[in-house]
């Protein structure tokens, strides 16, 4: 049975840290964009699993930018927090930082928004706990997530109608 008690974002907030190794890098010695995308998906999914305690699928990943390269030997830090929870879907924000191991200099390199949908083993959608919004900042974050959700659903409709005519 799903646990539907409302939860705070702090209960599922997730931080992942790893060192960038040569195997993760392109010939310039910078981490591959695809590797960063993979880590974003994992960090976001962990936070959402902690919120829902159900199986999840990724429904959408919003446009992603890479502001600075992260080089071999640096740390990559991913901070994920749930920003809004609806009936069966939820949004998570994942911020990515680089940290130079020798100086501690930290820079934000990406911010991503992902939507996950809660399902059971048969693929049926299942309800999720609400997100507790205590502070003005949390309410503002959730209101912004509502706007992004509306944009995503519009984009999804457009893609569906375009693929139906192809």
Ligand X SMILES: CC(C)(COP(=O)(O)OP(=O)(O)OC[C@H]1O[C@@H](n2cnc3c(N)ncnc32)[C@H](O)[C@@H]1OP(=O)(O)O)[C@@H](O)C(=O)NCCC(=O)NCCS
Task: Provide the binding-site residues for ligand X, judged by CB under 6 A.
Answer: 57-60, 86-89, 115, 117, 125, 149, 152-153, 156
Closest approach, Cβ 93 to ligand X, in A, equals: 14
> What is the smallest separation between the CB atom of 158 and ligand X, expressed in angstroms?
11
**Nearest to ligand X by Cβ — which residue?**
86
CB of 38 to ligand X, least distance (A): 12
Cα–Cα distance for residue pair 92/86, rounded to 1 Å: 12
State which residue, 74 or 93, has the beta carbon closest to ligand X.
Answer: 93
> Hey, how many other C-beta atoms are within 10 angstroms of the C-beta on 39?
19
Q: Which residues of 78-95 are buried (b: 16+ CB within 10 A; e: fewer)?
A: bbbbbbbbbebbbbbbbb
Which among 138, 43, 35, 32 has a CA at the least distance from the CA of 85? 138
- By beta-carbon proximity to ligand X, the closer residue of 97 and 116 is 116
**Residue 95, SS3 per DSSP:** strand
CB nearer ligand X, residue 27 or residue 123:
123
Task: Name the residue nearer to ligand X (CB basis): 36 or 45.
Answer: 45
Which residue has 């840290």 as its token pair? 17
CB 92 within 8 A of CB 81: yes
Distance of closest approach, residue 43 Cβ to ligand X, in angstroms:
15
| Residue nearer to ligand X on the CB measure, 47 or 60 | 60
SS3 for 37-74 is HHHHHHHHHHHHHHHHCCEEEEEEECCCCCCCCCECCC
For residue 35, the minimal CB distance to ligand X (Å) is 17
């Amino acid at each position: 049975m799903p646990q539907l008690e409302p939860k705070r974002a702090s209960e599922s907030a997730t931080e992942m840290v790893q060192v960038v190794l040569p195997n993760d890098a392109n010939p310039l010695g910078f981490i591959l964009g695809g590797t960063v995308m993979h880590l974003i998906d994992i960090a976001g999914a962990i936070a959402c699993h902690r919120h829902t305690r159900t199986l999840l699928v990724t429904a959408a990943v919003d446009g992603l930018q890479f502001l600075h390269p992260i080089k071999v030997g640096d740390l990559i830090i991913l901070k994920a927090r749930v920003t809004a929870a609806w009936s069966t879907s939820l949004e998570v924000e994942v911020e990515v930082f680089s940290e130079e191991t020798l100086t501690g200099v930290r820079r934000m390199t990406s911010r991503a928004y992902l939507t996950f949908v809660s399902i059971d083993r048969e693929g049926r959608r299942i309800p999720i706990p609400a997100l507790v919004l205590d502070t003005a900042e949390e309410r503002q974050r959730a209101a912004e997530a509502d706007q992004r959700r509306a944009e995503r659903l519009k984009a999804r409709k457009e893609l569906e109608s375009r693929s139906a005519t192809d």
